[in-house]
Amino acid sequence: MKLWQKLSLLTVCVLLLTGIVSGGVVIHGVMIYNQSKTMENYEQQIKSTAFALGRELQSSPFESYQKATKISYLKYLIRRYDASEYILIEDDHVICNETAFHLTDPSDARWGGETVFSVIQQKGSQYILLAGKRIPLGNISTNLKLVLVKDISSLYQNIRSQAFFYVLIYLSMIIVAVVLVFIITGRILKPLRELQRAAQDIQKGNLTRRADVHSKDEMGMMAQAFNKMAQRIENQVTELENESERRRQMMGSLAHELKTPMTSIIGYSDSLLHVNLKETQRTRALNHIYEQCKRLERLSGKLMSLIGMYDNDSICFEELPVQVLFEQAALIEKYNLEQQKIKLVYSCEMGSRKLDKDLMISLLVNLIDNAAKASDVGSTIYLTGKDNVIAVRDEGCGIPEEEIEHVTEAFYMVDKARSRKAGGSGLGLALCSKIAELHGARLLIESRTGEGTTVLIKFAPLGE
Ligand code: ATP
Ligand code: MG
């Protein structure tokens, strides 16, 4: 059963229950009230009739009458007070009854009490009120009881027709209520249906789908939460897709990077095996094989480092003076720079930071190495550290503006031939970028072709 059907059914049940209970209580109350009012009126009537009869009998020479005269006189008096409503009992015998009712128990002592005794008797659909009382006769020794007989069926008929009228009105109210409940629940549940449709669309793969609900109530809040969740899922899926695409490209590039030295090694070793080479040619071939193997070794070393970056357990942060990092990086690059007659000038105004020593030295060495590869013989590289920023600046060939955003991608090289000739594999900056990220820093590249490049490592201010 659907929610709107449940809600409608529940409302109808509640309405029916409350209507039956409250209607029943009200009708019963009205009936009791009317009944007691009617009895009160007729009790008053019999009281005054009994009193009037008693007065008339006391003022007459009733005691001196013969038995037959007494009865005739009593009948005469009763007729004056409407004989069709009264039964007159002397001791235990009915002496006058011109009503349509047959009194079965005239000897019942309750008909002759000082106060009025009344009872309602039901005969089929007829309701008869009987009210009895002793006629006050003063010194007269006769025991006379007067019983009033009243057909009060109309009272019950009235109540019945009132109840019928109430049920009729109530049923029409319920029909109206049911229609209103259908319309209102339909409106209330509209956002829920929209949410359901949105969820189904997302399930089918339409990740950009959002629930179009703008109400300020709980439904609106739920829709907002749903949309945020959908947005998050979409972002994560996009991120996963991008990541998978990056990996695919990386695998392609890796295969390509491996293929070139491999082909070269196979070619030269084939010549060594099958061709009768001169000594100089043999030496050249072996040199070539050696160079390509070194290249493969470097490539594998960088790849291992890059993969190792994802294993955070191997990272060890310690409080280190940045100056020490500069000195060690300069020492490592000393031989390489001297070969190219390039000068490295460094100055550090930064104090100590929490860093991983090996990773940071690797980062600086990679940046100096890149700067050296891009620089001409005799030029200078500047390594500075100031205000949470480490910068490596060179006066080399620079990077074209459109290439800057790509150079941190693995295996990306602006000038492939030149980079490969210099022993590069396009992994250095990817490595640097990952190291900076692990230190909560950002790697920024500023470059102008023909003028030089500055690579900045921006750390978060200390204490954040
Ligand atoms: P590897 O670092 O793996 O030995 P690589 O130096 O070629 O090889 P990256 O360090 O990732 O690779 O650099 C990517 C590319 O960016 C380089 O091939 C080069 O073209 C360009 N590049 C990097 N640094 C500079 C620089 N300072 N000046 C000019 N071009 C640069
Ligand atoms: Mg490099």
The string of pLDDT tens digits covering residues 354-380 is 998 988 998 999 999 999 999 999 999
Bigger pLDDT: 181 or 401? 401
Are 172 and 94 in contact by the 8 Å Cβ rule? The answer is no
3-class DSSP assignment, residue 214: coil
**Four-CA torsion 20, 26, 27, 33, nearest 10 degrees:** 160
Read off the tokens for 328.
Answer: 């060690």
Q: Which of 258, 333, 370 to mutate to test the pocket of ligand 1 (most atoms within 8 A of CB)?
A: 370
Least confidently predicted of 267-271, 300-304, 448-452: 300-304
Q: Which atom of ligand 1 is found nearest the CA of 394? A: 27
Inform me whether the pLDDT recorded for 307 exceeds 80.
no
Q: For the segment 24-71, what is each residue's pLDDT rounded down to a tens digit?
A: 999 999 999 999 999 999 999 999 999 999 999 999 999 899 989 999
Q: How many residues are recorded in the chain?
A: 464
Q: For the segment 161-171, what is each residue's pLDDT rounded down to a tens digit?
A: 999 998 999 88
Q: Which atom of ligand 1 is found nearest the CA of 408? A: 11
Inform me whether the pLDDT recorded for 237 exceeds 90.
yes
- The whole-number average pLDDT for the span 267-272 is 94
Taking the CA of 425 as reference, the closest ligand is 1
Q: Which atom of ligand 1 is found nearest the CA of 431? A: 11
| Ligand 1 pocket, residues with Cβ under 6 angstroms | 302, 366, 370-371, 374, 394, 396-399, 407, 412-415, 419, 424-430, 453
**Which DSSP string corresponds to 229-252?**
HHHHHHHHHHHHHHHHHHHHHHHH
Note the pLDDT of residue 311: 62
Note the pLDDT of residue 7: 80
Q: Is the dihedral of CA 395, 399, 400, 401 positive or negative?
A: negative
The fraction of the chain above a pLDDT of 70, given in percent, is 98
3-class DSSP assignment, residue 61: coil
Q: How far apart are CA 72 and CA 53, in angstroms?
A: 14
3-class DSSP assignment, residue 333: helix
Inform me whether the pLDDT recorded for 312 exceeds 80.
no
Note the pLDDT of residue 257: 77
